[in-house]
Structure 1
Amino acid sequence: MLVRLLTRHLRPYTGLVIVVLVLQLIATIASLVLPTLNADIIDDGVAKGDTRLIWELGAIMLGVSAVQAVTQIGATWAAARVAMGVGRDIRAGVFDRVLSFSSRELGEFGAPTLITRNTNDVQQVQQLTFMSLVMLVAAPITGVGGVIMAIRQDVGLWPLIAVAVVALLLGMGLVIWRMVPLFRAQQKQLDAVNRILREQISGVRVVRAFTREREETDRFRATNTELTRIGLNVGDLMALMFPMVMLIMNLSSVGVIWFGAHRVEAGQMEVGSLTAYISYLIQILMSIMMATMVATMIPRAGVSAERIGAVLQTDSTVTTPTNPVRPDPEGLAGRVDLRDVDFTYPGAEAAVLHDISFRATPGTTTAIVGGTGSGKTTLLRLIPRLADVTDGAVVVDGVDVRDLAPADLWSRVGIVPQRPYLFSGTVASNLRFGNPDATDEELWEALRIAQADDFVGSFADGLEHPIAQGGTNVSGGQRQRLCIARALVARPEIYLFDDSFSALDLSTDARLRAALRPVTREATVIVVAQRVSTIVDAEQIIVLDEGRVVGTGTHAQLLETCPPYAEIVRSQEHVTAGEVG
């Protein structure tokens, strides 16, 4: 998974990767040449007192060092550019895929893990990309080249290199083997921390209302403590690495000096060659350590890559048709038909909606009422294809919504959700979600219809008044009216109001509905409502009970023919009478 992910996203940076590898090759060769030059100075220059040779070889060493430094800096710069670009592309890919998800996929993954996968997991892959490019050429060439150059200096000491390399590989392999399950547990625990933190931030009012601060603090502390424990275990293993490397390196150096001194004394080896041999040994062990550093990152990046790949390889159940159908331009724009619609949530034992059929035509208002859990919101979500029907069909302008291009369908629909949501920005930027080219006059007109022009006009900066994430710096009623205005700015053919008037008082509700009538005269309006007063004038009222249509007609007709509707009306009359009393 990790290799496929990196290969796919590295492809646009092929040229820059080649530059990195060439620069790394030059720098590595330079590093292998330096110990030999140093040995020549010791053996020929210092030993014979040849100062001219010392100056010449010294100048060459400085030049080689300069080339090594410049190429290493260039390689690091290029590797950083590649790694940052790969991280950017992966994040963009995950973001685009998540935007295409239906509510089913979003529910399966959950928001906390999707956020973690697009931030921390991408960062792990990004860091591995950078470290691999920086050390991909240097480590193996330095290791192999160091062995060759060391044996070239003296063949008799090669067993020391073999023992040191094997000891280091075994030690590092054991550490990495122990790290893999810890990294997997660490990423899952990070998901858990993010999930609890998000729940507590979103539900802080509920937590305070029920005085659950201590319990929630304990819940977060337990999860955070577990994440800390796993992190400490990883840290303990990491802490073993460098002392182990230094121990093997120092013991190897002592061994080379000990046995090398005997060979120098016996005339089998020169002092300069011994010095070069020690330098090559250190380079060999350092190359193994560099390779091991990258290797320790591979398990965690591999886990992260699997998690990212799971998102990228998940296709939305709401798919784009291969050959989308264009609605007949001569047809009745905005007509909605539900034909024998059933819907079942994934994993549910029973359907939420059963055999739903009705038609909503332009110029009319269709209201959907029913008790809690009767499927009103679920039914409304099927029209813009936020989820696909299990059986039957939702038809817009004579075409099944599954045969329409999603963009074509969504451009025809303006929806005001049950829980209004505003994005961080300004009043204007939120209203222009429906139409980026809308003028200020059009925005004010939409605000006037939505009964929001009064409070927006009271802001010192008007349309440029800042809106916090989620619209938390305005009241619930103001947030609801801004969402209605946002839908009005788009001027769609179909308006979907999902219990969008419940946060408004009765007088504001009445004024808003009166202002809406001229604007929506030629559009199809479908309203989910709890208050009967909101939909009493609707041309068609659909009554749902346990996911089935139990009544269809006007307010007057349903009072006589539909007992569940009559019961809803009586219950609201009692509540209103009680409130007045």
Structure 2
Amino acid sequence: MSEIRLLLSYVGPYRRDAALGALFVALETSLELLIPMLMASIIDEGIASGDVAVIMRQGAIMLALALLSLVLGLGYARFASRLATGLGARLRQAEYEKIQAFAFGNLDRYQTSSLVTRMTTDITVIQNAISSGFRPMVRGPVLLIMGLAYASIMSAELAVVFFCTMPLLGVLLGLITWRAAPLYRDLQVSMDHLNNVVQEDVTAVRAVKAYVRGPHECDVFAGVNGELARTSTKTFSTAVLNLPAFQLVMYTTTVLVLAVGGHMVATGALGVGTLTGFMSYVLQIMNSLMMISNVFLLLTRALTSIRRVRDVLGEVPELASPADGEALTDVPDGSVEFRDVSFKYSAAAEEDVLEHVSLRVPSGATVGVLGSTGSGKSSLVQLIARLYDATDGAVLVGGHDVRAYDLASLRDAVGVVLQKNVLFTGTVAENLRWGDADATDEELLEACRLACADEFLDRIGGLAGDLGQGGAGVSGGQKQRLCIARTLLKRPRVLIFDDSTSAVDMATEAKIRANLASIPGVTTIIIAQRITSVMDADEIFVLDDGRVHAHGTHAELLANDSIYQEIYASQMEHAEDGAHAGAAASADERAASSVDVEEGGERRG
């Protein structure tokens, strides 16, 4: 019943369409059920006695009823169509808005492909169930109840046959539905798997081609496609059993009615017209039972999809702003403080990603965060913008706990250039205006200059240049610089770079740092793998296994911290090796040039 309540709660402005559609179907069905009685009257009273007036009168009434039923049917079709499409649109919108409200922790529990399937395939199944099932859902019970009533009026003795055979059909349909319900759930899971493979392959098509893994990916797709085909075959082969079950009961009922009715006609207990009209009701009642069985199957599949949609709509976002009137909407300054913070992504995780982290960054300072892969650097900065909540301890921005702020206000004040850069399909200007929707072209160009994106802007068509799907039209370094420019347009109080210059050469990176240093009053936190990226910072924090191992300036850490010394020595050694290799190559080039010159001189001599 909770699934039905969910649908009813989203019917909203289409309640009138639902009510009128049901009314039109009920009236149409009621009118059609009068026709067999009129037919019996024509046979027994008109044809048997040769009364043409009775035949014409009853025939005219039948024609009028048929035309009125047609009009009602057309009206129902319009109302049902509006109801199905309107409900589907409202569910899809509600699900999308719910996903937008999810925290990262909520999204971690769902595959992207599963969310896409729930918003597309599952809602389409619900729409189809309403558009295809609304009419038989109303018409079937009306036909059954009124048909049995009219049939009983015509002949109570023959009506007993129905009451003997219908329980058998109900048991058979119940068993089929009970067996098909879990299969429909497996079918939607198989659809999730298929969508997941398609999404990954399309997104990573360049990597697939670069590694020549096309045949392998075709085999992977063949596996999930075969799984979907097998699940579909098993599901629908079970579902179609309702047709032979229905036919078995229908033919059995027809034979029994004809046998009993024929005997009653032979003994004079029943008229031929009455038997003919009764047989019409037999077909009507059997048709109603067939409709009801199909509705059961439609609802069985639809209920599976409704539950999947309900799971998303019922998901409670892990992060939320404080109640109205209690949330802070202004971030006073860019100071950042961690007070004995511990964090893990899942409550079921055995170990914390961050353990007892305490640090303080003054407003306007520039700090660097270094550490090996998996040391917790990205997790640390995600807590500042409250993309996740600390498990223990408190994170403060501007002197207040981040949980006291309105989420939108906090994230407007904290600009994060994520490790995984994301651009959207559209122009450069459209992507940059994610930082400030009202930014002028001059402001966009200034942000590009600060991020050194102006160096390549003309080559990609300027601000009107199309970036392609997901920014496929620009390189990794260009994408990073555009993302930095987009974040600068927010004019944040805290600016976080999560290894967001890793694809930029060192000269350009130094230029970006110099440009950012010219922006007053902004706290800058730089997560990097290269020491050169943070060596000029006011303070550097070294993370090791989720803890703050050491902190200080570049000179202090180089003199006193073993981990920092090890990172520095390793990177400087590689830099020197690269420099030596470059010098050797240059010497070889000069030597080759001198040989060419000498040979040229000999030839000229």
TM-score, normalised on structure 1?
A: 0.93
Q: State whether residues 133 and 298 of structure 2, in contact with CA within 8 Å, keep that contact through their aligned partners in structure 1.
A: no
Aligned residue identity for 1:143? L
Q: State whether residues 335 and 364 of structure 2, in contact with CA within 8 Å, keep that contact through their aligned partners in structure 1.
A: no
Task: Tell me the residue number matched to 1:91.
Answer: 92
1:488 deviates by 1.5
Task: Tell me the residue number matched to 2:337.
Answer: 337
CA offset digits 1:82-123 (Å, max 9, x no partner): 222222222222222222222222112222222222222222
Which range moved further: 265-274 or 399-408? Answer: 265-274
Which range moved further: 288-297 or 252-261? Answer: 252-261
Task: Tell me the residue number matched to 1:568.
Answer: 567
Aligned residue identity for 1:409? L
Task: Tell me the residue number matched to 2:585.
Answer: none
Aligned residue identity for 1:416? V
Task: Tell me the residue number matched to 2:590.
Answer: none
Which range moved further: 550-559 or 538-547? Answer: 550-559
Task: Tell me the residue number matched to 1:311.
Answer: 312
Aligned residue identity for 2:269? Q
1:433 deviates by 1.1
1:296/1:393 CA distance change after superposition, 3 Å: same
Q: State whether residues 325 and 399 of structure 1, in contact with CA within 8 Å, keep that contact through their aligned partners in structure 2.
A: no
Aligned residue identity for 1:391? D
Mapped pair 1:525 → 2:539: no
Task: Tell me the residue number matched to 1:136.
Answer: 137
Counterparts of 1:271-420 in structure 2 under 5 Å?
271-322=272-323, 325=326, 327=328, 332-346=332-346, 347-420=348-421
Q: State whether residues 493 and 523 of structure 1, in contact with CA within 8 Å, keep that contact through their aligned partners in structure 2.
A: yes
**What is the DSSP-based 3-state SS (H/G/I as helix, E as strand, rest coil) of the residue aligned with 1:136?**
helix
1:191 deviates by 2.0
Q: State whether residues 329 and 405 of structure 2, in contact with CA within 8 Å, keep that contact through their aligned partners in structure 1.
A: no
Task: Tell me the residue number matched to 1:539.
Answer: 538
Aligned residue identity for 2:137? L
Aligned residue identity for 2:186? A
Counterparts of 1:497-516 in structure 2 under 5 Å?
497-516=497-516
CA offset digits 1:112-166 (Å, max 9, x no partner): 2222222222223333333453233211111010011112112221233234423
1:280 deviates by 0.8
**What is the DSSP-based 3-state SS (H/G/I as helix, E as strand, rest coil) of the residue aligned with 2:438?**
coil
Aligned residue identity for 2:561? C
Structure 1 runs (4+) greater than 6 angstroms displaced: none
Aligned residue identity for 1:70? V
User: How far, CA to CA, are the matches of 1:457 and 1:443 in structure 2?
Assistant: 14
User: How far, CA to CA, are the matches of 2:361 and 2:432 in structure 1?
Assistant: 27
User: How far, CA to CA, are the matches of 1:324 and 1:525 in structure 2?
Assistant: 30
1:274 deviates by 1.7
User: How far, CA to CA, are the matches of 1:171 and 1:546 in structure 2?
Assistant: 62
1:212 deviates by 4.5
Aligned residue identity for 1:542? F
Task: Tell me the residue number matched to 2:600.
Answer: none
Mapped pair 1:478 → 2:517: no
Q: State whether residues 24 and 138 of structure 1, in contact with CA within 8 Å, keep that contact through their aligned partners in structure 2.
A: yes
User: How far, CA to CA, are the matches of 2:135 and 2:433 in structure 1?
Assistant: 46
Q: State whether residues 364 and 521 of structure 1, in contact with CA within 8 Å, keep that contact through their aligned partners in structure 2.
A: no
Which range moved further: 19-28 or 238-247? Answer: 238-247
CA offset digits 1:428-478 (Å, max 9, x no partner): 221111211112222222222222234332234x32333333222321112
Q: State whether residues 496 and 527 of structure 1, in contact with CA within 8 Å, keep that contact through their aligned partners in structure 2.
A: yes
Percent identity of paired positions between Structure 1 and Structure 2: 38
Q: State whether residues 417 and 484 of structure 2, in contact with CA within 8 Å, keep that contact through their aligned partners in structure 1.
A: yes
Mapped pair 1:240 → 2:230: no
CA offset digits 1:150-192 (Å, max 9, x no partner): 1211222123323442333233222212212211221222222
User: How far, CA to CA, are the matches of 2:43 and 2:445 in structure 1?
Assistant: 85
1:207 deviates by 4.5
Which range moved further: 146-155 or 77-86? Answer: 77-86
Task: Tell me the residue number matched to 2:453.
Answer: 452
Which range moved further: 216-225 or 557-566? Answer: 216-225
Task: Tell me the residue number matched to 1:224.
Answer: 225
CA offset digits 1:366-395 (Å, max 9, x no partner): 111111111111101000101001111111
Mapped pair 1:16 → 2:17: yes
Counterparts of 1:199-218 in structure 2 under 5 Å?
199-208=200-209, 211-218=212-219
CA RMSD of aligned residues (A): 2.2
Task: Tell me the residue number matched to 2:592.
Answer: none
1:328/1:43 CA distance change after superposition, 3 Å: closer
1:221 deviates by 2.3
Task: Tell me the residue number matched to 2:35.
Answer: 34
1:30 deviates by 0.8
Q: State whether residues 104 and 387 of structure 2, in contact with CA within 8 Å, keep that contact through their aligned partners in structure 1.
A: yes
CA offset digits 1:37-65 (Å, max 9, x no partner): 22222222233333333232222212211
**What is the DSSP-based 3-state SS (H/G/I as helix, E as strand, rest coil) of the residue aligned with 1:183?**
helix
Q: State whether residues 242 and 293 of structure 2, in contact with CA within 8 Å, keep that contact through their aligned partners in structure 1.
A: no
Q: State whether residues 327 and 397 of structure 1, in contact with CA within 8 Å, keep that contact through their aligned partners in structure 2.
A: no
1:326 deviates by 5.4
Task: Tell me the residue number matched to 2:577.
Answer: 578
User: How far, CA to CA, are the matches of 1:43 and 1:448 in structure 2?
Assistant: 95
Q: State whether residues 329 and 409 of structure 2, in contact with CA within 8 Å, keep that contact through their aligned partners in structure 1.
A: no
Aligned residue identity for 2:540? I
Task: Tell me the residue number matched to 1:432.
Answer: 433
1:399 deviates by 1.2
How many residues align? The count is: 578
Aligned residue identity for 1:57? Q
User: How far, CA to CA, are the matches of 1:107 and 1:389 in structure 2?
Assistant: 16
1:497 deviates by 0.9
Aligned residue identity for 1:63? A
CA offset digits 1:60-82 (Å, max 9, x no partner): 21221122122122223212222
CA offset digits 1:307-354 (Å, max 9, x no partner): 22222222122232225655596x842222222211122132221112
Which range moved further: 196-205 or 24-33? Answer: 196-205
1:328/1:192 CA distance change after superposition, 3 Å: closer
CA offset digits 1:241-261 (Å, max 9, x no partner): 334434433443344334333
**What is the DSSP-based 3-state SS (H/G/I as helix, E as strand, rest coil) of the residue aligned with 1:48?**
coil
Task: Tell me the residue number matched to 1:262.
Answer: 263
User: How far, CA to CA, are the matches of 1:155 and 1:219 in structure 2?
Assistant: 63
Task: Tell me the residue number matched to 2:495.
Answer: 495
Q: State whether residues 368 and 541 of structure 1, in contact with CA within 8 Å, keep that contact through their aligned partners in structure 2.
A: yes
Q: State whether residues 207 and 213 of structure 1, in contact with CA within 8 Å, keep that contact through their aligned partners in structure 2.
A: yes
1:528 deviates by 0.7
**What is the DSSP-based 3-state SS (H/G/I as helix, E as strand, rest coil) of the residue aligned with 1:451?**
coil
User: How far, CA to CA, are the matches of 2:25 and 2:436 in structure 1?
Assistant: 51
Aligned residue identity for 1:121? D
Q: State whether residues 327 and 398 of structure 1, in contact with CA within 8 Å, keep that contact through their aligned partners in structure 2.
A: no
Unaligned runs of 5+ in 2: 582-605
Aligned residue identity for 1:486? R
TM-score, normalised on structure 2?
A: 0.90
Aligned residue identity for 1:73? L
1:97/1:565 CA distance change after superposition, 3 Å: same
**What is the DSSP-based 3-state SS (H/G/I as helix, E as strand, rest coil) of the residue aligned with 2:33?**
helix
**What is the DSSP-based 3-state SS (H/G/I as helix, E as strand, rest coil) of the residue aligned with 1:342?**
strand
**What is the DSSP-based 3-state SS (H/G/I as helix, E as strand, rest coil) of the residue aligned with 1:525?**
strand
User: How far, CA to CA, are the matches of 2:274 and 2:87 in structure 1?
Assistant: 44
User: How far, CA to CA, are the matches of 2:50 and 2:142 in structure 1?
Assistant: 35
Aligned residue identity for 1:516? L
1:215 deviates by 4.3
Aligned residue identity for 2:476? G
Aligned residue identity for 2:114? T
Counterparts of 1:45-56 in structure 2 under 5 Å?
45-56=46-57
